[in-house]
Structure 1
């Protein structure tokens, strides 16, 4: 079956209370209402999660495993994350400590297009990758570009804008990205490195695609 599991830990005074907590998590993460408010048996049979395990870990700590039907994700990763640790993140002392997926669910969500191995292929090398962050806010595009240039000379694998860099008048997005991308390309040509630069996409949503395309055209190796 196309299922996935969440493993949670929390405090309880005894097994009976732990059972109640486990059932509460299963209900809160799926249907969020009492049985009397459910009009169809299908919802209780297929949508409501199942508690598969409740284990006493000692010291009033209990671990529970809950099985979810993948249909409740709608095939979308954000909803899977919401199911695994949405409302339960509000509960006091409830922790999500593990997840597991059936082969069918793993096929639905294969992960990043490149992954760590793919990024290593892009930047070169097989060891740990190092990322530098361009800051502080207030530097001009030229000053930021010089810092990026020096980072490449120092062997940094990836360079990203600090999250605070947006559209400030002293370093607007377009001239900032162009200057930094050119500096990184120049240093790469001089050193043989493959450092990539990823500008920040901190912007209104209606500007997101426009800025992402600009960054790629300017020579950025990614976005963040």
Structure 2
């Protein structure tokens, strides 16, 4: 094939890839909306109809509903990791850690679609979710270490602790969120103040846990 012919042939291939990306984004958006409205029992047909595509297209992108849930969760995890990295570059150590934790609790408190997805995969060790959790722990660890170097955060906290405390704040405030969606802020402040380095005793050893995401039953 001549160079001129290759130049003519290239754009359709790029358009096909771009179409696939757009279809995936539309599918994930539709799935999140349908799960938010109908819960985890929503059908693939409902999701396909919302996205304006056929069920076969859904299965080509996501062979199982578990894969679809995992993709939704992974997108949200990626967003939270981005928040943590951005805060690390722009804020002082305490503010960066607090803003990261705030973003995490807010994510769980205001995203029913994510909560439904978490419920479905909570007992499944999906590799995509596991990879995302590792990223979250690494981000939380980095933010915690900054605050510890500044002397403001107790020295025996780690990234897993931070992620589990985010879940704990969400669980604590959960009964109040229907009446006040911002109720979690009070409990995050209490938790964050308890993480400070002043006047603390030693913690028992940390237990490594397989899942750091809240299970919604």
**Based on CA coordinates, which of the two structures has the bigger radius of gyration?**
1
Q: Same fold (TM over 0.5)?
A: no
Structure with bigger strand share is: 1
Structure with bigger helix share is: 2
